[in-house]
């Protein structure tokens, strides 16, 4: 397991993303559902779910970069919203690889609530830069 300094991703740090585990095979993060990232009814905003998953996928893509690559960027992202997360709770995101190639990698992030119920499923494609 590798530690990851979230401060190198300023937006994720501002949102409050906390990295629990980070390796080239899995990234796990937590996000407190604060009022500032909620929509009406006190539930996690869809864009916040997407940004949380994108941050975790970017970290996973970065940690799995092939030799000689200088960074990564998101090429595509698709989100299925499956349930709500209430303000004041914490969501957990777990990112795992679906495909790792020389130039691109595909990552799946499952976001669940504290109760284990599904909140969102995100599939994203990361491109290795400088290869």
pLDDT at 8: 87
Average pLDDT of the segment spanning 95-102:
95
> Which tens digit of pLDDT belongs to each residue from 73-82?
999 999 999 9
Q: In what order do the strands lie in the sheet with 90-100?
A: 18-22, 27-32, 90-100, 104-112, 118-129, 71-81
pLDDT tens, residue by residue, 26-74: 999 999 999 999 999 999 999 999 999 999 999 999 999 988 999 999 9
What average pLDDT does the chain have? 95
In the CATH scheme, what architecture does the domain 6-129 have?
Answer: Roll (3.10)
- Which residue ranges make up each domain of the chain? 6-129
Per-residue model confidence (pLDDT) at position 114: 94
Pairing of strands 104-112, 90-100: antiparallel
pTM of the model: 0.94
């Amino acid at each position: 397991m590798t530690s990851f300094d979230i401060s190198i991703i300023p937006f994720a740090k501002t949102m409050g993303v906390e990295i629990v585990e980070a390796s080239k095979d899995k990234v796990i993060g937590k996000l407190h559902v604060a009022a500032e990232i909620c929509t009406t009814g006190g539930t996690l905003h869809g864009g916040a779910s997407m940004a949380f998953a994108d941050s975790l996928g970017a970290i996973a893509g970065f940690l799995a970069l092939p030799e000689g690559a200088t960074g990564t960027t998101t090429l595509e992202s698709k989100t299925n919203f499956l349930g709500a997360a209430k303000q004041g709770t914490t969501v957990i995101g777990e990112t795992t690889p679906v495909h790792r190639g020389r130039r691109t990698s595909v990552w799946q992030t499952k976001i669940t609530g504290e109760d284990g119920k599904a909140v969102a499923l995100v599939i994203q494609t990361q491109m290795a830069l400088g290869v």
